[in-house]
Amino acid sequence: MPDIDAQNLEQELREIIAKIVEIDPKEIGLNVNFVEDLGMDSMMALEILSSMEKKYKIQVPEEKLSRLRNLKDAIDLTKEYLKA
Amino acid sequence: MINIEEIEKLVPQKYPFLMIDRVTELKEGDYIKAYKCVTINEECFKGHFPDTPIFPGALIAEAMAQAACILLKKSMPNLQATLFYVTNIKIRFFKTVIPGDKLCVHIKTVKMTSIGGIFETEALVDSTMVSKGEMTFACK
């Protein structure tokens, strides 16, 4: 994936997460922990996963939900399933 | 078709909070269509409102949630959960529902997992959309 797409992906995912958690996208750094730093619960994580699937037309299995701990994980998961 | 006897086994809520009378269509993992017949005998009409009975939007949302609960349980028969908690809801209401209306709810799965689900929801009376939205709920 070219760099520019990676940057777009990062920003798009940041905005998806910010909308669900209802915070400023600027607060979501790559390694900011969803649970410890943003107070996210498992159902918010499910909403993020679902939004990722809808936006990028991918299917991520339920068992991958535990891997979704920060923005970097969201990017990695999306890239993984975009390739699949 | 799923009748009231089976609905009572699938939905944890009981009278006077059971909001589904019958399921007319269900495709596991995908969608459900169900309805509730709203009558003047509903407890809620004593206060909502004394001179102008209007079926509360909160109970329309509850009917949607209970239909989604049936869909989840029928789609995941090994699910051990007994309680369901709405964690996020965004619903718009277009028209009032009154005694005599047959409230039909159509629920479509967005994402379904063993910890809960996300569903697109619609409510209709006489094929007219009265409410539409999306809800997320957790099961335990």
Pairwise CB contact (< 8 Å): A42 & B138: yes
Q: Which pLDDT score is estimated for B59?
A: 98
Q: Which pLDDT score is estimated for B75?
A: 96
Pairwise CB contact (< 8 Å): B87 & A53: no
Map out the domains of chain A as residue ranges. 3-83
Which residues in chain B have their CB less than 8 angstroms from residue A65's CB? 113, 115
Angle between helices A71-83 and A3-21 (to 10 degrees): 120
Average of per-residue pLDDT values in chain B: 96
Q: Which pLDDT score is estimated for A7?
A: 84
The reply to whether ipTM tops 0.90 is no
Cβ–Cβ pairs < 8 A, chains A and B: 33
- Looking at residues B97-125, what average pLDDT do you find? 97
How far off is chain B from A43, nearest CA to CA, in Å? 7
- Looking at residues B125-138, what average pLDDT do you find? 97
Alpha-carbon Rg of chain B, whole angstroms?
Answer: 14
Q: Does A49 touch chain B (CB under 8 A)?
A: yes
Q: Which pLDDT score is estimated for A2?
A: 45
Print pLDDT tens along chain A (84 aa): 444 488 899 999 999 999 999 999 999 999 999 999 999 999 999 999 999 999 999 999 999 999 999 999 999 999 999 987
Map tokens 């959960």 to a residue: B81
Pairwise CB contact (< 8 Å): A46 & B88: no
Q: Which domains does chain B have, with CATH numbers?
A: 4-139 (3.10.129.10)
Q: Whose CA is closest to B85, among B1, B12, B24?
A: B12
Specify the CATH class of A3-83 in words: mainly alpha
Q: Does A54 touch chain B (CB under 8 A)?
A: yes
- How many Å apart are CA A54 and CA A37, to the nearest integer? 26
Q: Which pLDDT score is estimated for A27?
A: 95
- How many Å apart are CA B54 and CA A25, to the nearest integer? 41
Q: Which pLDDT score is estimated for A1?
A: 47
Query: What pTM value is reported for the model?
Result: 0.91
For B34-79, the pLDDT digits (tens) are 999 999 999 999 999 999 999 999 999 999 999 999 999 999 999 9
Tally Cβ neighbours within 10 Å of residue A69.
16
How far off is chain A from B29, nearest CA to CA, in Å? 14
